[in-house]
Amino acid sequence: MDSGKIAALLKSVYEREIEPGEAMESLKDLPFKDMGFACIDHHRVLRKGFPEVIFCQNKTPEQVVSIAVSQISQEETVFGTRASKDTLDQVEKNIPGAEIDREASLFWRKSRFWEPKENTKGTVLVCSAGTADSAVARETVRTLDILGHPSEELFDVGVAGIHRLLARRELLLQASVIIVVAGMEGALASVVTGLVACPVIGVPTSVGYGSHLNGLVPLFSMLNCCSSGLTVVNVDNGFGAACAAAAMNTK
């Protein structure tokens, strides 16, 4: 939090190198400027050492590329989510070394300073119910990777064939945090939470039709889960789930 700067300032006053009035001017904004919360938009929560994240949804391809170029010039890791096809095309053309995951609508480029987190509790397990949920699941997995947390995927373990899930119980029991990505009625989150003791995060997806209400049904379903220990993020918010899981997975 750089209290060092304030200490230095106070010392200068003590040493009479600068006058109280001048010091007061400097102090006015310091506490805020140096606080280092570093959050600009809803992706910027990621702390120092973590890359700045570009939430591309309401930005033009040009804006995205220009932010990325500027970050790279400062040797930062770049990570862009919810990027349109157009944006990804522009990134591909203009950002050498960028890796692109079109299914998950994101791209990234790790800087040479990037390295995995050391103080993690274990592995984050990302379960998804069907292939239809895989775009959100991949956003989750990619974000965890960028955040430096190890993850494992368990795909296609829907409740309609509960035995498939039960067969992987060991995997479930070894995870330090579990993220369940599920659309339709979202029952997978309830069943998984009933099987484990670690924290479980539910990510409802907007996959479905009819009275699915664009994901509100699995969202409410998870919120009313009869197994305790489940918490929930917004519909399709794989990124947010990964950030929360990273917080939980930090010793």
Residues 12-71 that bind its own copies (CB under 8 A): 13-14, 16, 19-21, 23-24, 27, 29, 31-33, 35-47, 55, 57-59
Footprint of its own copies on residues 69-108 (CB under 8 A)?
82
Q: Are 95 and 72 in contact (CB under 8 A)?
A: yes
Footprint of its own copies on residues 194-223 (CB under 8 A)?
194-195, 197-201, 204, 206-213, 215-223
CA distance 208 to 191: 20
Tell me whether strands 124-128 and 177-182 are parallel, antiparallel or unpaired. Answer: parallel
Which residue in 83, 98, 181, 184 binds its own copies (CB under 8 A)? 184
CB nearer its own copies, residue 99 or residue 156: 156
Sign of the C-alpha dihedral, residues 103, 106, 111, 114? negative
CB nearer its own copies, residue 96 or residue 198: 198
Measuring CA to CA, which residue among 86, 82, 151, 79 is closest to residue 117?
151
CB atoms within 10 A of CB 160: 10
Is position 236 an interface residue for its own copies (rule: CB under 8 A)?
yes
Stretch of 72-80, 85-93, 110-118, 181-189 contacting its own copies, by CB under 8 A: 181-189
Which residue in 5, 6, 94, 171 binds its own copies (CB under 8 A)? 6
Is position 240 an interface residue for its own copies (rule: CB under 8 A)?
yes
| Interface map 123-162 toward its own copies (x if CB under 8 A) | ------xxxx-----------------------x-xxxxx
- Scan for tokens 């120092």, then name that residue: 48
Hey, what are 54's tokens? 């570009």
CB nearer its own copies, residue 16 or residue 112: 16
Half-sphere exposure of 30 (CA within 13 A, CB side): 16
Is position 171 an interface residue for its own copies (rule: CB under 8 A)?
no
CA distance 29 to 53: 26
Alpha-carbon distances, residue 152 vs 103, 177, 210 (angstroms)? 18, 11, 32
CB nearer its own copies, residue 55 or residue 114: 55
